A = this chain, B = another copy of it.
Amino acid sequence: MQESSVDSSGTRFTPLVVVELASDTAEETIAWLLSRIRDLQNNGGSELLVEQMGSGVGAEEEKENPNMFLVGASWQRMLVGAEEIGLFKEYNDGSMRGFTCANKHNFKDFKGDGDSFLSMAECQYIIKHELDTLRAKDETHVPGHTSAKLYPGKSIVRRLQSKGILIQIFPLHEKEELKRLTFSWYNKVKLSLQPLDEIRHYYGEGQALYFGFLEYFTFALVPMALIGVPYYLFDWEDYDKYVIFAAFNLVWCTVILELWKRCSASLAYRWGTLSRKKAFEEPRPGFHGVLGFNPVTGREEPLYPNAKRQLRVWLVSLPFVLLCLYLSMYIMMIYFQMEGWALTVNDEDPTFWTGVLVFIPSIIYAVVIEIMNIIYRYAAEFLTEWENHRLESSHQNHLILKVLVFNFFNCFASLFYIAFVMQDMLLLRQSLATLLITSQILNQFMEAFLPYWLQRRRNKKMIRKVQKRKNMEDKQLPLTEQVRLEADMSVYLGTFDDYLELFLLFGYVSLFSCVYPLAAVLVVLNNITEVYSDAFKMCRVFKRPFSDPAANIGVWQLAFEAMSVIAVVTNCALIGMSPQVKAYFQESEQQLIIWTVAIEHGLLAFKFILTFLIPDVPKHIQINLARLEFESLEALKRKKMLEASELSKTVQ
C-alpha cells in the first residue's frame, strides 16, 4: 500500500490526489483553501482530508515548490461521494446498479469498512469531482488575490486554475498495482489478450475502452491481412484481381463497426457506465464572458452570446480551415511536380541512385504531412479556445471536427488525386506504402520513445540525487520524492491522438487497401507495437490521468462510420475503374458508370438498413436494463400506492 499522511486533525489517510499551487501563493489563500476543502459538506465544504507535503531531499540547493498538497478522504466520505457521482457497482444479483449508502450492504464486494470496494481510480475521480464542485459562498474574490473574482456558486478550483494560482491537480500512481498491471499488460511475453478489466481498474473506463477498441480493431484486421498476404505474394503485378478484395473490404468495414458498438456496450455494461447518468456539466476553466444568470440553473455565471460564438466559428474558423486545406492542396501539387521530375530523371538514366530518388519525394511528402498535422493541431486548439465554448464537451467536439477534416484531407488528398484524377494504380500503391510506413515510424518515435527517453533522464537524475543524500539500500523512492517526480512527468493529453492515429490507419485500409493488400498487414503489425508503446507510455512516461467514466468511444464512432461510408464510394469507384470490369462493358463506358453508381447506391442503402437491423446493444443486456427499469417503476408505483392509502386513512 501507499504510505499514509496525517491531516491537521490528526486523522491518518492515504494520499490520492496532489494539488500544486504556485510557489508565490499568499499564506492567506492557502489557509482559506485548506479550510474550505476540510469544511463539512453541510457548511458548503468538501469534507476531504488534506495535508501540505514536506520538503524533499534536494530542497536546499534546488528551488522546490513548497505548495504541494496531498488530498484524501475518509471511507465514509468516499461512499457518500460515490453516491453523489452516481457510480454503478455490481449488486448481489449480478446486475449493475447505482450505488447508494442506504443499501450499501447489498452490493457485492462490500465488506464492512468498504476497503477494496472502490478502486483507487474511482476514489481519485470522486475527489476530483468533489474539488471541482467546491463552490464559493459569499466570497467576492479569492482571499489574498483580489484579482481572482468569485461569485456565489462559482467553482473555486476552476477559478484558481484560470488565474494560474492552481498549477496542476493530478492523481498519484500506486507503485505495487502499477507493477502488477505492467507485468500482465506488456512485460511478459504472452499470447493472451490485454487485461482490460485491470486497465479499467487502474485508469478508468475511457482508457480501457480505447485499449479495447485498439485490440478489437487489430483482430478485425487479421482476416484482411490474411487475405492480403497471398495477394501480395502471388499477384504482385496483377492489378485487376482487386475486385474481390474491394468487395470484401466493403462488407468488412460495415460489419466490424456495427459489431464494435455491441462489443463496446457489453464492456460498458460490465463496467457500469452504460446506464450511468451524465452529471451536470460545469463551464470549462477557460470560459469567459459577462456575468449574468444561467437560464438553466438560475445561478450567476459568465454568459457569452451564442450568436457571437457562431460568428467566430463561421467567419473565422471555417475560412481558416478552408485556407489550410488550400495550402495542403498546394503542397500536394508541389509533391506531384517533384515526383514527376524524379521519374523523368530515373527514366532518362536509370541507376540505383535514381531508383532510390523515385521514393524520396514520397518520403519528404510524408514527413511534411506529419509536420503540417502537428502545426495545424496547435492552430486548431488556439482557434477552438478562442471560440470560447462554455462546455468542455462542445469544445472537444469542435476541436475534433477541425482536426479530423484537415487530417483526412492532408493524408488522403494525394491518394484520391492519384487514384481518380491520374488513375495511376502503380503510383497509388507506391504512395500508399510510403505514406503508411513513414507515418508509422514517425508516430511511434514521436509518441513513445522520445518522451520515454526524456522521462528516463529525469528519473535517473532524481534517483541519483536521492541516493547521494540518503544512501538508500532499496531503489524505492520515498513518498515525497515520488510525488515530486510524478509532478514533473508530462501530462497525458487524453486519447485524442491515439484515436486519430487509428482513424487514419482505418482510412488507409478501408479506402485503398485493395490496391495495396499489404496495408492491412502493416497496420496489424503497427497496432501490435502500438499496444505495447501506448501501454508503456501510460505506465511509465506520463502522469496518471484522472479516470473518465465513458460509456462508448463517443464522437469517434461517428468518425469511423463516416469513413466507412466514404470507403463504400471509393471502393465502388475503384471497382468500376478496374480493367476486369471494364472488359465487360467494352461497347459502352456510360453503361459501366451507370451500373457502378447504381450498385454503389444499393450498397449504401444496404449499409444503412444493416445499421438499423443490427441492434446496438446485445439482447441479454437489453433484457437486464429493461428489468432494472421495470423494477424501479414497480417500486415507485408501490411507494405511491402506499402514500395514497396512508392519505386516505388520514382523511378517514
Contacts and interface: CB of A to CB of B under 8 A. Distances in A.
Chain A residues touching B, range = 20 to 34
Report copies per complex. 2
Contact of A84 (B593, B623, B637): B637
A652 interface: no
Interface string A614-649: 000000000100110010010001001101110100
B295 A627 contact: yes
B41 A641 contact: yes
B641 A296 contact: no
Given A589-B590, A640-B83, A633 B280 contact: yes
A640 B82 CA distance: 12
Interface string A10-44: 00000000000000000000000000000001100
A569 B601 contact: yes
B84 A640 contact: yes
Contacts of A84: 637, 640
Contacts of A644: 41, 80, 101
B630 A297 contact: yes
A256 interface: no
A594 interface: yes
A331 interface: no
Main secondary structure of the interface of A (DSSP, over half): helix
A441 interface: no
A52 to B, nearest CB: 27
A102 interface: yes
A296 B589 contact: no
B42 A645 contact: yes
A630 B282 CA distance: 12
A196 interface: no
A603 interface: no
A597 interface: yes
A295 B620 CA distance: 9
18 contacts: A41-B641, A41-B644, A42-B645, A83-B640, A84-B640, A101-B644, A102-B643, A296-B626, A296-B627, A296-B630, A297-B627, A298-B627, A569-B601, A589-B590, A590-B590, A590-B593, A593-B593, A593-B594
